[in-house]
Structure 1
Amino acid sequence: MSEAPQHNTAYRRRRFLNWFPLGLTYATFYMGRYNLNVASKSMMDMFHLTKGEFGIIATAGFWTYALSVMFNGPLADRIGGKKAILIGALGASVMNLIIGLMFLNGWQTKLIIGMSFLYAVNQYFQSFGALSVVKVNAPWFHVKERGVFGGIFGIMISGGYFLAMTVGGWILSSMSWYMVFLIPSGAIFTMFLVDLFLVKDTPKAAGFENFNTGDASSHEADNEKPLPFKELMHRVFSNRVIITLAFSEFCTGFVRQGLLLWFVPFLMEVHHIQHGTRMFSMATAGITIGGIVGGILCGFISDRLFRSRRPPVAFIFYLGQIVSLFILGKTGSPLLASFMIGFSCMWIFGVHGMLTGTASMDFGGTRAASTVAGLLDGVQYLASGLTGFLMGHFLDKWGWGSWTYMIMPFSLMGALLMTRLWNETPLRKPAPAKGTLEEHRPLVEDEV
């Protein structure tokens, strides 16, 4: 069984100059995506929108993202992650600029239709983000290093939430609210320029030798070439593990956006916590800190305690979601509610980073990493769309007492799905027919 290679200092330094700018880019993507979340209460109050009406705008974006990321995954596998991240960054920057300028000039006519369209186009370009990060990093990290990368991916996500929620809250408390669209536009464009000069698709493109990454396509002789589209689709959709992961990410999507889309109006209406206050900053900073801790902890436990198996640690984190969401929904304390927002995100982001960022590389391999990441991210946003108009409708009807109870069943379903994959690793053969002996295969095949 081959082990993770011992990289020299020069390689590690160059790899850092690859994934760190990508991480910052992904963080600015979140700043330009979840600015809608942080501005939700301001928009509803200013334009007299019900939660259901605001949810329509969110759903338009979520479902556009879901469909786009599924198509853009195979595209990124063919054109490369660098080109994909540049397309996404430039487009998202332009769309946030347009939205901000429209509100700057007093736009109010047909707001729901117009904002739904513009936010949907923004989400199309946003959909290049995660799959590009996964595609670029797959050749740079051995499978036994990817649990740590899952933690890094979680930090990327958490950094984005810090920019979107905490910095966005500061912007709303001291500037005109449309600045939460204009400032992210500039940040994303800055990272577009950085990626243009720094990011390389493979170690070979940066002057190093490519190596056996130990994932699902590492043993193939022509693994540096893109797969034919038909073979790519067959490889992904005939894989029981990937399909099960897709169902689990559907659950993650509902839990994640169910919390993040509505926590701002929840804190304001139930606990009377406003933008710019210490309690609000505690909640939004808690999202960042909780996400970082969850990402690192999830990756560490997976690599060290479960020998790079992802499902067992995901199972634990799904159960953690249930407990934390129950406490969040029941507490009457503004302090505890603010704390539980971040604590819940620790369990949620840990699973999200592990499944989308790590398992997609493991089971898709370097040749299908973007396609698998696109599938997992896509089904997640299909579920996210339900948290927009549908959850908004039920919140209008039933009130905040129903909020976390609508979310928790999806955490339970995610945990149950992980029990179906408990011992799965990238190169392990599917379970044999009943009555035959199972041939166990190592996580990483020896090179011939």
Structure 2
Amino acid sequence: MEHTPSYRFRRFLNWFPLGLTYATMYMGRYNFNVVKNDIGAWYHLDKAQMGIIATAGFWTYGLAVAINGPLADRIGGRKAILMGAVGAALVNLAVGFLFLNGWTARLLVSMSLLWSLNMYFQSFGALSVVKVNSTWFHVRERGVFGGIFGVMISSGYFLATTVGAWLLARFSSWTVIWFVPVGAMGLMAFVDYLLVRNRPSHAGHPDFDTGDGSGAHLAEDKPLPMKELLGKVIGNPVIVALIFAEFCTGFVRQGVMLYFTEYLDEVYHLSKRATLFGATGVSFMLGGIFGGLLCGWMSDKLFQSRRPPVAFIFYLVQVVMLCLLGMALGRGTHGGQIWAIVLLGLAAMFIFGVHGMLSGTASMDFGGRKAAATVAGALDGIQYIGSGLTGFGLGWVLRTWGWDGSAAPGHAPAHAWVWAGCIIPFSLIGAAIMTTIWRARPQSGAAH
């Protein structure tokens, strides 16, 4: 089946605003990462205490995404993305007013609760993207879609990091970093309401067999029974292996993303208010774009739409990048700061590539059109359970031993091997898991 130009254009009008919405939701999620060390310093909270707020959010997301996956399969991705974007915007608004009005008497408790609520609504983002696009992309196109998914994630990091740093440099208060995402998410929710449709037939184009065994004309008003949905997850050994791999991805991904601002500040003496810091978001974005597209292209063209071999390669390259980050070469110098930013972008290339491939593509492949959001919820949920360990867990390690094993006050770290050494084992375990499902591919339906 060849897609017509009009279908491709309408599909673009579907996935592009959906992806931009997901990027703005990232802006309302990773703004916390950008300012958490400022908040900690101002309110005398250490890395482990700020990590409690992050862990509360991560684990709420992990549980919510597992629950909301079947919900998104039932109500459709369009309704789910609207719920997520509007809800996350309202919570970011509440956080902004919390700091603006000085309601910070019990900051650790209030921020943990608010951030958990934000992450509940954030959990609809990836589910919606996967659910909607599972009906618009054939199996043989989904590797490329995984690349697109990675691009959107990377754009979200750019909005949070580079735009966030730009806002902090021009405004005296960090409250602005909560209010700007509110407007962005609200605008994109309105655009989604106008343009996004759950499946081609809702936009005037015929549905087709997507090649994942779902069939061509499954009625959306007849969702799979819950028992069958859960069977898609726990009854499939490939999905179970992917779940364990995504636990590792979660630790690696957030182990880097949650602490990169402190890494640049404390190891390389690069403040987030410095002009050069803004290049970090660009580096993340470019790394994520190239990583996502390369991962998708390799999967579809070199491995016949098999995802595990590419994920295996990317996990191993993560180890190399983390080793280089741990060395902290040229720390404290301008050249060293640039080197660190480049390394973070390269690490993002191979971390985001795997994340997009497994959560964004494999979930569609092995869940099928009817259970895509459920499987995406299982994969994304366990990923954020792993992410939660980087909050209080890795935060406690860094507070206790520092970046290089010396926690002496005012000590200038010679390297960051404690940080990198905690993350590397999870990349190695993820690579090992991929070898157990090396030849896995989805059941094929009719020829495309």
Q: TM-score, normalised by structure 2?
A: 0.93
Q: 1:425 aligns with which of 441, 444, 447?
A: 441
Answer yes or no: is 1:349 the counterpart of 2:365. no
Write out per-residue CA displacement over residues 107-152 of structure 1, whole angstroms, 9 at most, x where no aligned residue: 2200000000000000000000000000001000000010110000
- Do 1:321 and 1:411's aligned partners in 2 also have CA atoms closer than 8 Å? yes
Task: Give the 5 Å matches for 1:157-196.
Answer: 157-175=153-171, 176-196=173-193
SS at match of 1:391: helix
Matches within 5 A, 1:305-324: 305-324=302-321
Q: Match for residue 258 of structure 2?
A: 261
For each residue in 1:47-66, what CA deviation from the matched residue of structure 2 results, as whole angstroms up to 9, or x when unmatched?
A: 11100000000000000000
2:16 is equivalent to residue 20 of structure 1: yes
Q: CA deviation at 1:445?
A: 4.3
Question: Structure 1 residue 234: deviation in Å?
Answer: 1.5
**Number of the residue aligned with 1:274:** 271
Partner of 1:85: 81
User: In structure 2, what is the Cα distance between the partners aligned to 1:312 and 1:235?
Assistant: 22
* Structure 1 residue 348 displacement after superposition: 0.1
1:336 pairs with 330, 334, 339, which one? 339
| Amino acid aligned to 1:409 | P
User: In structure 2, what residue type is equivalent to 1:391?
Assistant: L
1:361 maps onto 2:357 in alignment: no
Partner AA of 1:302 in structure 2 = S
Q: Distance in 2 between matches of 1:320 and 1:225?
A: 43
- Match of residue 94, structure 1, among 70, 90, 100: 90
Partners of 2:353 and 2:106 lie apart in 1 by 39
Mapped pair 1:410 → 2:426: yes
State the distance in 1 between where 2:251 and 2:268 align: 23
In structure 2, give the amino acid aligned to 1:386: L
Q: Report what 1:440 is aligned to.
A: none
Match of 1:59 in 2: 55
2:227 counterpart residue number: 230
1:382 counterpart residue number: 385
Take 1:50 and 1:41, find their aligned partners in 2: how far apart are those partners? 8
Amino acid at match of 1:382: I
Q: Which digits, 9 at most, give the CA deviation of each residue in 1:205-235, with x for residues without a partner?
A: 0011000000142378668731011111112
The 1:289–1:446 alpha-carbon spacing in structure 2 relative to 1, beyond 3 Å, is: closer
Q: CA deviation at 1:249?
A: 0.4
Matches within 5 A, 1:86-165: 86-165=82-161
**8 Å Cα contact 2:209-2:446 kept in structure 1:** no
- C-alpha change, 1:222 and 1:22, in structure 2 (3 Å) is closer
Q: In the aligned structure 2, how far is the partner of 1:15 from the partner of 1:85?
A: 17
What root-mean-square deviation, in Å, do the aligned CA atoms of Structure 1 and Structure 2 show?
Answer: 1.3
Could you tell me which amino acid in structure 2 is paired with residue 231 of structure 1?
Answer: E
The superposition leaves residues 401-443 of structure 1 with CA deviations (integer Å, 9 ceiling, x where unpaired) of 200110000000000000011111101xxxxxxxxxxxxxxx4
Cα distance in 2 between the residues matched to 1:325 and 1:242: 27
Per-residue deviation, residues 305-337 of structure 1 (Å, max 9, x unmatched): 001100000000000100000001112322221
Q: State the Cα distance separating 1:44 from its structure 2 match.
A: 1.2
Q: Which amino acid aligns with 2:184?
A: A
Q: Is the 8 A contact 2:210 2:216 kept in 1?
A: no
Once residues 124 and 243 of structure 1 are traced to their aligned partners in structure 2, the CA distance between those partners, rounded to angstroms, is: 24
Q: How much identity, in percent, do the aligned residues show? A: 57
What is the CA distance between 1:173 and its match in structure 2? 1.3
Distance in 1 between residues matched to 2:226 and 2:266, nearest whole Å: 49
Alpha carbons 1:40, 1:264 under 8 Å: kept: no
SS for the counterpart of 1:400 is coil
Cα separation, 2, equivalents of 1:179 and 1:320: 37
Q: Which runs of 5 or more structure 2 residues have no equivalent in the other structure?
A: 331-336, 405-417
CA contact (8 A) 1:216 1:363 kept: no
Question: 8 Å contact 1:149–1:299 — kept in the other structure?
Answer: yes
Q: 1:69 aligns to what?
A: 65
Report if the CA contact (8 A) 1:324-1:343 is conserved.
yes
In 2, Cα distance between equivalents of 1:95 and 1:223: 31
Amino acid at match of 2:82: L
Is the CA contact (8 Å cut-off) linking 1:250 and 1:383 kept in structure 2? yes
SS for the counterpart of 2:376 is helix
Measured after TM superposition, the shift of residue 106 of structure 1 is: 1.6
Tell me if structure 2 keeps the 8 A contact 1:282–1:339.
no
What amino acid is the match of 1:335? Answer: I
CA contact (8 A) 1:89 1:192 kept: yes
Corresponding residue of 2:407: none
Give the distance between the partners of 1:221 and 1:197, measured in 2 at CA. 24
Match of 2:202 in 1: 205
Asked if 2 retains the 8 angstrom alpha-carbon contact of 1:360 and 1:369, the reply is yes
Query: C-alpha distance in 1, partners of 2:130/2:213?
Result: 14
Matched letter for residue 301 of structure 1? M
1-structure distance, mates of 2:49, 2:346 = 29
Q: How does the TM-score come out when normalised to structure 1?
A: 0.93
Structure 1: segments with no counterpart, 5+ residues: 428-442
Distance 1:98 1:322 in 2: 39
Aligned to 2:414: none
